[in-house]
Structure 1
Amino acid sequence: MSRAPAVVAGGAALLTAAVVFGVYSFLRPAPGPQDFEGAGSDAVTVEISPGASAGEIAETLKRAGVVASAQSFVQAVVERSKEGSLRPGRYRLKRRMAASSALDLLLAPKSRVVRRVTVPEGLRTSEVLTTLSAGSGIPLADFTKAVAEPSGLRLPAYADGKVEGFLFPATYEVEPGATARDLLKNMIARFGAAARHVGLGKVTPERGLTPLEVVTVASIIQAEGGQDSEFPKIARVIYNRLQRGAKLEMDSTVNYALRRHTLKVSQQDTKVASPYNTYARAGLPPGPIANPGESALMAALRPAKGDWYWFVTTDPRHRITKFTDKETEFLKYREELNRNLGAN
């Protein structure tokens, strides 16, 4: 009889402990999703697809071993209200990262592995397409097809459906999933921005010059080379000849007709049968001969003041160009160019 109360007391103690543990378990916060600690180690590149949700990105990171669980990354995104800040692309991350650290890197521009393609000033369309294909990894045939079907490229109305002259030279980012048409549309949009900046369509340097003719002049300026500071003087030479009703006689237009690049244009070359041959035909060619940059567009709209009628890039290596209104000096400059060409 003396042991019974002890047994009851022991049972009561066990019951009390169970109740206390149950209350503790109920009040204790539920464990969060599995997560790593720290900034991780071992670099890994992860690609985020266009249009991917935070949950889809989280699964991508989990498969790559970047985060411990998809839930931990989604929680970090939601807590920081970054659902609309995640961009597609390729990112340099690390394995076994805390979800918050992984999010930090996805939001940091320096982590993004961006594929870029740079298109220099003065390239012809065929050369631009080759450059774009090499830099973007998109087949050249895709660009050729897009140019042949320009209706969706958003060209200016005055371009007459031709892209030559309107593929603005600059550096472009190639987003994942981008198409040839996407890149060409970006270039034409950049041309539109540059055209608005210089006032193309609002200001014409000479009476009767259309926007397409301005771009054509700019393309000749760009193709003739030299330094940007000399572009307004080259423009003045062009306008001085146009005002006199004379032939432009620009080697760059002959080279365009012959589909080549050279400083050695022969007399026989200047007889090529082409509407772009400004030795044979008066006035401007029917359209641009290259894709000019903003400096050339600005020069075409704001030529320098002067009586120059000739110019010669006498030292192509150092981009030295000389201008004159005297034919005797022009002939002397041509001889100087030929000597420099012979020395190279």
Structure 2
Amino acid sequence: MNIEDLLRETLSDMAHEEQPPPPDRFVQVRRGRPRGRGLALVAAAAVTAMAVGSTLVSQGLSSSRDVAGQGPGTASVETGRGRITLTVREGLRLSQVLERLSAATGRPQAEFWRAAKDGGALGLPSYARGALEGFAFPGTYEVPSTSSPGEILAAMVTRFNRVAGDGDLVAGARRAGRTPLEILIIASIVQAESADKRDMPKIARVVHNRLDHTPGLRLQLDSTVLYGLGKYGAKASQEDLRSRSPYNTYARRGLPPGPICNPGADAIAAALKPAVGPWLHFVTTDPKRGVTKFAASEAEFLELTKEYRRNLGKAG
């Protein structure tokens, strides 16, 4: 699809759809902020979304280069005069996305952070509460080298809104008894905790089951604790677990206050439609092979923990 076709499609979506969507399906632009749709439209004209979802992103681009020595994530590839390709994989935190976009485009990180704070201009849905974390949709984008940070980020939000609309996120959240933001928070947890996308529906079920359990069970997820502390890794330390952060799901009940990364379509779909099962725990018993197993009882969970420790000893 070329730029003209994308612009024509975007204008058509705004003018009339074959079946009118519910009012909150796509972008809810704040009244008194007309520049929001303007920037989103500019982004649609300037940025061509080449592909989204886990398939292409996980494969990457054969000619992509690592950015700033930080591993696969965002790549910058010249695809023609004055154009570059940006690939953002699922599961990156917003800080990582902005850092990598800065490295790929040569624009200062400060410019991306300023643009990220203007949720109205980016076209964020109202339930985002003005925060971009979770809504910078992963995928591969072809952009003019002159694109501003705001245009690039607005294109990512536009893609999120389209995926959310196609996946019926708002109505699906209502059917699940959650808010759209809660579903996105769950999706971000699923994305962060999944070693294999095939496990996502089961991990989502564990999160839902623990939230719905009477009495409510704390989620007790290292990924949320580490996010709240600005740390990275697979396991939180004992000191980390004593954190007073609102993202400490060992100390606090319920979901953390916001997404902990930017999930892809698979994780969002899993959060909306989790697998059916009684599981209350999951353990990545073999981190090297990415094997995750599930338990419905504390006794089963302890057995999986022992298996994890055995495999960890073999790896050492």
Question: How many angstroms apart in 2 are the aligned matches of 1:203 and 1:142?
Answer: 35
Cα RMSD for the two superposed structures? 2.0
1:290 aligned residue: 261
> Runs of 5+ in structure 1 lacking a partner?
1-86, 89-109
In structure 2, the residue corresponding to 1:262 is in which secondary structure? coil
1:203 aligned residue: 172
Pairwise CA distance, 1:266: 2.8
Is the CA contact 1:311–1:330 (under 8 Å) kept in the aligned structure 2?
yes
| Alignment counterpart, residue 118 of structure 2, candidates 149, 153, 169 | 149
Question: How many angstroms apart in 1 are the aligned matches of 2:176 and 2:271?
Answer: 13
User: Number of matched residues?
Assistant: 237
- Whether 2:230 is the aligned partner of 1:259: answer yes
1:173 aligned residue: 142
- Whether 2:242 is the aligned partner of 1:271: answer yes
Pairwise CA distance, 1:315: 1.7
In structure 2, the residue corresponding to 1:118 is in which secondary structure? strand
Pairwise CA distance, 1:123: 0.7
- Whether 2:277 is the aligned partner of 1:315: answer no
TM-score, length-scaled by structure 2: 0.71
2:86 aligned residue: 117
Greater C-alpha Rg: 1
1:64 aligned residue: none
Equivalent residues in 2 for 1:40-55, closer than 5 Å: none
The Cα offsets for residues 286-343 of structure 1, whole Å up to 9 and x where unpaired, read as 1111100000000000000000010011122221100011222212322333344452
In structure 2, the residue corresponding to 1:323 is in which secondary structure? strand
**Higher alpha-carbon deviation: 191-200 or 331-340:** 331-340
In structure 1, the residue corresponding to 2:158 is in which secondary structure? helix
Is the CA contact 1:205–1:302 (under 8 Å) kept in the aligned structure 2?
no
> Runs of 5+ in structure 2 lacking a partner?
1-45, 48-78
The Cα offsets for residues 31-75 of structure 1, whole Å up to 9 and x where unpaired, read as xxxxxxxxxxxxxxxxxxxxxxxxxxxxxxxxxxxxxxxxxxxxx
**Higher alpha-carbon deviation: 137-146 or 197-206:** 197-206
2:103 aligned residue: 134
Is the CA contact 1:166–1:187 (under 8 Å) kept in the aligned structure 2?
yes
Question: How many angstroms apart in 2 are the aligned matches of 1:213 and 1:204?
Answer: 8
Is the CA contact 2:82–2:145 (under 8 Å) kept in the aligned structure 1?
no
Report the CA distance shift for 1:187/1:173 in structure 2 as closer, same or farther (over 3 A): same
TM-score, length-scaled by structure 1: 0.65
- Whether 2:133 is the aligned partner of 1:164: answer yes
Pairwise CA distance, 1:257: 1.2
Equivalent residues in 2 for 1:202-281, closer than 5 Å: 202-204=171-173, 207-244=176-213, 245-281=216-252
Pairwise CA distance, 1:206: 5.9
